[in-house]
Amino acid sequence: MNEAVDALVIGAGPAGLMAAEMLAGAGRRVVVAEAMPTPARKFLMAGKSGLNLTKTEPAQDFARHFHCGAGAGLPPDPAGYFGAGDGAFGPAEVMAWARGLGVDLFVGSTGRVFPVGMKASPLLRAWLARLRGAGVELRNRWRWVGIDDGFCFQTPDGIRRLSPAVTVLALGGASWPRLGSDAGWVPMLRAAGVEINDFRPANMGFRVNWSAPMARHFGAAVKGVAIHAGGRVSRGEWVISATGIEGGGVYEVSAPIRDGAPAMVDLVPDQDEAALIRRFDRPRGSLSVGNWLRRVLGDPVRVALLLEWGRPLPETAAGWAARAKALPLRHDGPMDIARAISSAGGICWRAVTVDQELRTLPGVFVAGEMLDWEAPTGGYLLTGCLTQGRRAGLAAAARAGVAGSQRVP
């Protein structure tokens, strides 16, 4: 027997919870079904090292960090999501929303916004309490397994079916599957005629088959350099690991590198090439190449990268300066999607309306990483998920108001 529900949200991450909040605020009785034992596991993992909620930037600058996949069709104008107007939900709105939950915030020197306590758990607890107060029912360990005379779930009590008036799907992409984003929904929606692009890792590191001398630098941070790739520049910090390179500075330019753009590392981005030539023109004397380079560059990690990726080694000061300013970043491809911060790919934008309603399943809306878009870390990903959850929730609430007791699918 089907259980009739007013509004169903599948997935209890940031996009799903925001959709539930919008539905409840519009007077809908909301059930949130979550496959994992507890909600928002990836959100909590992201907040372990400091929850970056958003980044303070003008709407047009903020929107430029969002990209849809090749062949995915044109998404709704990202600036319309984040800019001024009644439908906007950009950095200022995210900050106001978090403060409304009683969470104090601060803005870092780079414009990134964090809770004063840095952690995600206090915000999540306050959010869940507010949702419960609005009548939202969270059902954990409810895994969506199909569309068969309603939405079918594997639950601790066996197979259960729900027949909602409207539904918001917010099941995440394909990164960090152990936290719940395993893309298990793809076959079900493809069977329903939804066009879906294959998933690829995003905001990920790259594999590097290091030479033996690099082992002494495993775990070392690379600071004060710039990575250029595909017209983008990253000045962020990154890390040399036993298997490759990882960290925010790499993630920021990982999309063009993944897609085949050559990447160059500027080891001394704050000096022009002429000044660097003068530094490399110092006599080497009896010093080894490594010791001489350490005197010139002053950082053993940058020296190690220059010796690793700069071969054949230059013979002139001009050659050394040119190599240090444009050092080829040599890698063996992106790290596995299971280790990626996020994923690219997913439901094509042409498969949904401007309100993120599936064209082949009227009354079913989607939000978050299920859709084919990507953005760098640094507050963009989370703001994007919250914004899309809000948009889908409001649209679903409006449709439910028109449809009355209609049940889909």
Domains of the chain plus CATH, in order, are 2-201+341-403 (3.50.50.60), 206-328 (no CATH)
pLDDT at 238 over 60: yes
List, for residues 300-359, the tens digit of each pLDDT value. 999 999 999 999 999 899 999 999 999 999 999 999 999 899 999 999 999 999 899 999
List, for residues 177-202, the tens digit of each pLDDT value. 888 889 999 999 999 999 999 999 99
pLDDT confidence band for 1 (50 / 70 / 90):
low
Q: Average pLDDT of the chain?
A: 91
State how far the Cα of 337 lies from the Cα of 250, in Å rounded to an integer: 15
User: By the 8 A CB rule, do 299 and 290 touch?
Assistant: no
pLDDT of residue 378: 83
Q: What is the dihedral of CA 205, 207, 209, 215, to 10 degrees?
A: 30
Q: What is the pTM of this model?
A: 0.90
Amino acid present at 198: D
List, for residues 240-258, the tens digit of each pLDDT value. 999 999 999 999 999 999 9
Instruction: Mention every residue, 6+ apart, whose C-beta is less than 8 A from residue 165.
Output: 5, 6, 7, 28, 363, 400, 403, 404, 405, 406, 407, 408
State how far the Cα of 403 lies from the Cα of 116, in Å rounded to an integer: 43
List, for residues 29-77, the tens digit of each pLDDT value. 999 999 999 999 999 987 777 899 999 988 888 888 888 875 555 566 6
User: By the 8 A CB rule, do 214 and 239 touch?
Assistant: no
pLDDT of residue 270: 94
Query: Tokens at residue 189, please?
Result: 């929606």
State how far the Cα of 337 lies from the Cα of 175, in Å rounded to an integer: 5
Instruction: Find the mean pLDDT for residues 212-218.
Output: 97
pLDDT of residue 58: 86
Under DSSP, is residue 322 helix (H, G, I), strand (E, B) or coil?
Answer: helix
358 CB neighbour count, 10 Å cutoff: 21
